Amino acid sequence: MNARRLISRFIGNRRFRKNDDGAVLIELAFVLPILVLLVLGAFDGARAILLKQKIERTSMAMADLVGQSQGLTEAEMTSLFDAISHTMSPFDFNDGGTVVVSSMSSDDGGTTINWVRNFGDGEDGSTFGSAGDTPTLPDGFSIREGDSVIAAEVFYPYEPVFLDNIFTAQTFSAYSIIRPRFARLTSIE
């Protein structure tokens, strides 16, 4: 019996043509890994987006709160840092997050960083520089003579929960710069 005849005999057999038991399981076996990958990817992607939004809001809130002060003490800065840590919820600053607040001013033709304060367990420092240095300002940004600004920077390490081979671990960061409303805030008492 040749192969063609054998194949046509099985295909023509009603028992094999009508029997579709297990077809759903085979289809599920093909589709399930793709569905699992999509669900886990959506979870990690949504978590990354939420973290980025929290970081941006935290930097703006910190800059705004410091900018509203008429004068700052170390105790007030500590209180502001404690309050800001709640803004990042459900992400915990004890997991490597950092908030850096800087005061910069322009006097006598030069721009200077007046003071820098850090909060959190992260190792990140200010991207603008250290106290007493000339700040590295963003492109196109300058401080007018006799004016001052408050910069708040937030750094937080992102590590994917499930798909670490697709989403890479990295440090998300954001900064906000605001002019103080009531005082220049060039020093902390």
Q: Give the chain as a DSSP string.
A: --HHHHHHHHHH-HHHHH--TTHHHHHHHHHHHHHHHHHHHHHHHHHHHHHHHHHHHHHHHHHHHHHT-SSB-HHHHHHHHHHHHHHTTTS-GGGT-EEEEEEEEEETTEEEEEEEEEEES-----SS--TTSPP-PPTT----TT-EEEEEEEEEEE--SS-TTTSPPEEEEEEEEE--SSS----B-
Tell me the pLDDT tens digit for each residue of 9-19. 656 555 555 66
Whether pLDDT at 113 is above 80 = yes
- With CA atoms as reference, report the closest residue to 63 among 14, 99, 31: 99
Do 124 and 171 meet the contact criterion of CB atoms below 8 Å apart?
Answer: yes
38/189: higher pLDDT: 38
Q: How many CB atoms lie within 10 A of CB 86?
A: 9
> Is pLDDT above 80 for 95?
yes
Structural domain spans, the chain? 14-178
Tokens at 165, concatenated: 């081979």
* Residue pLDDT, tens place only, 157-179: 999 998 888 888 999 999 999 99
Query: Which two tokens mark 126?
Result: 């200010």
Q: State the pLDDT at residue 163.
A: 84
Q: Which has more confidence, 12 or 63?
A: 63
Paired with 175 in beta bridges are: 153
Interval 93-117 mean pLDDT: 90
